[in-house]
A and B are shown apart, each in its own frame.
Chain A
Amino acid sequence: DGGITQSPKYLFRKEGQNVTLSCEQNLNHDAMYWYRQDPGQGLRLIYYSQIVNDFQKGDIAEGYSVSREKKESFPLTVTSAQKNPTAFYLCASSSPGQNYGYTFGSGTRLTVV
């Protein structure tokens, strides 16, 4: 089945460490997105990429980095510069101009310990 896979489901990070969240899709979607979700704040856009080797900052990009070397993959690195990284992270993909809709992964819950 086609879909979008995020891993790991749970991730624990020590203060000062960088961690990378994985997002892989086999839907042949051109665009991929990373959102952060905090209680009561909805979905906030971190980074997005509409094509391989290109990406743009979203509303809350500080302390995060991404790469898009392959169409299928869009990993997110949470760096030590992100002061409050504990959150639920969602990856999504879409193919603009086709059925329009976003497909979301099942999320990664990151906790700083």
Chain B
Amino acid sequence: GENVEQHPSTLSVQEGDSAVIKCTYSDSASNYFPWYKQELGKGPQLIIDIRSNVGEKKDQRIAVTLNKTAKHFSLHITETQPEDSAVYFCAASTMLGQFYFGTGTSLTVIP
């Protein structure tokens, strides 16, 4: 089955700096890669996703890149703000399959 690895497990950045979280996956059949943000005591919320026919996707301060050959994808947050502090999860899935999640990255933005 699919195996998703996520790094780093914790990340601290100064407000205004960029943050990058990386994930690798093992199943070449995976073709959908979402990123979720989870605030304390709440359920994860989808913040951005990318499909395998696209190499990069951007939404304001958030971007995701995908390298299918290397089987890795990354989340980039620019101009970080304190409200970006949360746990971020990556996931990989096929169109009809279940999601496989990374172990999460706890991001702290220091004011």
Co-assembled chains A and B: yes
**Interface positions of A (Cβ within 8 A of B):** 6, 33, 40-43, 45, 48, 90, 92, 96-97, 100-107, 109
Which residue of the partner chain, among B42, B45, B93, B102, contacts A42 with CB atoms under 8 Å? B102
Q: Give CA–CA (A33, B100) in the complex, Å.
A: 12
Chain B residue with Cβ nearest A94: B99
Given A33-B98, A43-B101, A92-B43, 14 additional A-B pairs, CB 8 A: A42-B6, A42-B101, A42-B102, A43-B44, A48-B98, A90-B44, A96-B95, A96-B96, A96-B97, A97-B96, A101-B46, A102-B34, A104-B43, A107-B43
Which of B96, B97, B99: most chain A Cβ within 10 A?
B99
Q: Give CA–CA (A103, B9) in the complex, Å.
A: 23
Q: Across the interface, do A105 and B43 meet the contact criterion of CB distance under 8 Å?
A: yes
Residues of A near B6 (CB, < 8 A) are 42
Residues of B near A107 (CB, < 8 A) are 41-43
Residues of B near A105 (CB, < 8 A) are 43
Q: Across the interface, do A42 and B34 meet the contact criterion of CB distance under 8 Å?
A: no
B103 at the interface (CB under 8 A from A): yes
Chain A residue with Cβ nearest B106: A40
| Nearest Cβ on chain A to B99's Cβ, whole angstroms | 6
Q: Across the interface, do A101 and B41 meet the contact criterion of CB distance under 8 Å?
A: no
| Nearest Cβ on chain A to B35's Cβ, whole angstroms | 10
Q: Give CA–CA (A93, B57) in the complex, Å.
A: 24
Q: Across the interface, do B96 and A104 meet the contact criterion of CB distance under 8 Å?
A: no
Residues of A near B95 (CB, < 8 A) are 96-97, 100
Residues of A near B41 (CB, < 8 A) are 107, 109
Q: Across the interface, do A40 and B103 meet the contact criterion of CB distance under 8 Å?
A: yes
Chain A residue with Cβ nearest B51: A100
B89 at the interface (CB under 8 A from A): yes
